[in-house]
Amino acid sequence: MDATSNGHDFVHLDTNPIPSGARSGFFSTSDNVRLRYGIFPKQGEASRGTVVLVQGRTEFIEKYFETVADFQKRGFTVATFDLRGQGGSDRLIGNHSLGHVENFDDYWTDLHDFHRMIVLPDCPPPYYLVGHSTGGLVGLLAATRDRLMFDRVFLSSPMVSLPGLPFSLKWSSRLVDAARFMGLSAVPLGRSEDKAQTDAGFESNPLTSDKARYMRSVELLRARPDLVIGLPTVGWVGSSLAAMRQANGDNFPAQLKIPVFICAAALDQIVDTSATEALGLRMRAGHHVIIPGARHELFMESDAIRAQIFAAFDAFVTEQTG
């Protein structure tokens, strides 16, 4: 592994080169949280607009370099940022290795301010949101709030619900909220699946069947240990359960203001694919597909699975513009 410095706030590996034309920076949200972002201009002649990429819990910009380059080759500028509390953005509690947020709406603040302050001035329209996991839930909620921000929303394994909850979403949320009320918001609360990726973890990992892409993430975290996020906190779990309850509400599909396409993984152990499928069947302005043989991180999966994801994206975008 060769990790080298560069003119960006990005780590470069030989196995994970920085996409062409990369520009990095920081901006402060309306509630004064400093977020790291990256802009990657389209490659080729014709511009097809901008993909705004919203990451999952624990993720960071460098993890998506390959995916960014794939969008660039399709004629898209890519704009992405590290959510508050992770990546190169401000951490919110003293223990920087824990994933924390007090209110899921804070992620809406991150996305809204990024769109307003960075994307609109610097990136060409039309705008497409691509969100993974936690970022997928952020994208779903965004699609109910502002029909002018994005033309379409494309989601990978969105966090609609969690598998194996001992109680319903409603009662799980209430129990965790009781712990938050008792002052335990910054205490870790998670599953073995929520721990950071390690060298020895590939064989039993729930994220991807592709060893090279799995190890690439491990190498990135070795090169930049300050990017590591492990377990979530009680505050993160409680705020996320509340947002998931909203997405499972009877009236939620009718609130979606723009077309949505959902890709879910058949073998997902991180989020509940059955809940995602149930939502997909209820959406009036959207589609969903279950990818056979796929684990949670669809953009980090095998070439064959990634080809299906990009084929779905290409068809979804062409459906609008063709």
Give dist(CA 147, CA 202) in Å, integer.
Answer: 40
Evaluate whether 253 touches 282 at the Cβ level (below 8 Å).
yes
- Give strand pairing partners of 37: 25, 81
DSSP string over 211-277: HHHHHHHHHHHHH-GGG---SBBHHHHHHHHHHHHHHTSTTHHHH--S-EEEEEETT-SSS-HHHHH
Taking each helix axis as running N to C, give the angle between helix 234-247 and helix 134-143, from 0 to 180 degrees, rounded to the nearest 10.
Answer: 40
Q: Which sign, positive or negative, has the C-alpha torsion 167, 271, 261, 103?
A: positive
Which pLDDT value is given to residue 320? 52
pTM of the predicted model, to two decimals? 0.96
Q: Which sign, positive or negative, has the C-alpha torsion 122, 30, 101, 156?
A: negative
Comparing CA positions, the residue from 322, 153, 176, 144 lying closest to residue 242 is 176
Which pLDDT value is given to residue 8? 66
Residues 6+ apart with CB under 8 A from 5: 12
pLDDT, tens digit, for every residue of 181-207? 999 999 999 887 888 888 888 999 999
Tens place of pLDDT for every residue, the chain, 322 residues?
Answer: 344 444 468 999 999 999 999 999 999 999 999 999 999 999 987 899 999 999 999 999 999 999 999 999 999 999 999 999 999 999 999 999 999 999 999 999 999 999 999 999 999 999 999 999 999 999 999 999 999 999 999 999 999 999 999 899 999 999 999 999 999 999 999 887 888 888 888 999 999 999 999 999 999 999 999 999 999 999 999 999 999 999 999 999 999 999 999 999 999 999 999 999 999 999 988 899 999 999 999 999 999 999 999 999 999 998 854 4
Evaluate whether 39 touches 77 at the Cβ level (below 8 Å).
yes
- All domains in the chain, ordered by first residue: 3-321 (3.40.50.1820)
How do the residues of the chain divide into helix, strand and coil, expressed in percent and rounded to 5?
A: 40, 15, 45
- Give strand pairing partners of 289: 263
Phi, psi for residue 4 in degrees, rounded to 5: -125, 155
Which pLDDT value is given to residue 2? 41
pLDDT, tens digit, for every residue of 106-119? 999 999 999 999 99
